[in-house]
Amino acid sequence: MATWSNLGTQDANSPLMEQLIFFHDHTLMILTMITVLVGYMMGTVLFNKLINRYLLEGQTIELVWTILPAFTLIFIALPSLHILYLMDEMNNPTVTIKSIGHQWYWSYEYSDFNNVEFDSYMKPSNDLEMSDFRLLDVDNRIVLPMNTQVRILVTAADVLHSWTIPSLGIKIDGAPGRLNQGNIFINRPGLMFGQCSEICGANHSFMPIVVESVSTNQFINWLKNN
């Protein structure tokens, strides 16, 4: 999860987030190169005493600075489109869960199993244990099996919400009367924290999300107990 000293993205817990981090680094490298080049050229112009004041046009340099940005945009657009289509890729999901945003809590339904549904509220400060995180922990966590294709359906009961887990690279808007879907593939066990990312009212900051990734056997045992 993110802490006060983190300046970059959170550690990836899914292949999709790994690709997003690679694309972030790729784009940042290109932007750094452009910034250095433009800065060098500006410095050269400012401190160069040999200036042709009567220069009106230069066909060659204008052609170059039109073609180079075009190639730069292609190198950014191709991996961007690759990830965009990868985010919509879903092949025979094993588990489907439905998340419904309310003012101001989340409710969950495991559509593949009977009677597995619950509400998830933020833990009050008075109920926190030593290992809990203030404003981030909930009373009922989402339990999901790792190394399993999971489909999540997101909607809202009242106003716009947004179901977001940064370490999984997933952010899905919840709109009343509409179902949006996304896919989750968690490649290691642990806890993943998120929050509502759509300003939905006075307690917008107090409806966190916690996903607990477990093995398949532990997930089955959890289903039996619920």
Q: What is the pLDDT of residues 131-148, one digit of tens each?
A: 888 888 998 899 999 999
Give the per-residue pLDDT at 11: 84
User: Taking all residues of the chain, what is their mean pLDDT, rounded to a whole number?
Assistant: 89
Cα separation, 28 vs 82, whole angstroms:
17
Question: Bigger pLDDT: 74 or 48?
Answer: 74
| pLDDT score for 208 | 93
Give the pLDDT of residue 50: 80
What average pLDDT does range 193-210 have in this prediction?
A: 91
The share of the chain scoring above pLDDT 90, in percent, equals 52
- Of 1-5, 120-124, 199-203, the range with the lowest mean pLDDT is 1-5
Cβ neighbors of 9 (< 8 A, separation 6 or more) are 17, 20, 21, 24, 166
Kindly state the tokens that stand for 203: 């307690």
Yes or no: say if 79 and 69 are a contact pair by the CB < 8 Å rule: no
- pLDDT of amino acid 1: 66
Measured distance CA(183)–CA(87) in Å, rounded: 7
Please, where are the H alpha helices in the chain? 15-47, 59-87, 216-225
71: exposed, middle or buried (Cβ count in 10 Å: 0-12, 13-18, 19+) = exposed
Of 19-23, 26-30, 41-45, 196-200, the one with minimum mean pLDDT is 41-45
71-99: average pLDDT: 89
- What pLDDT is recorded for position 224? 84
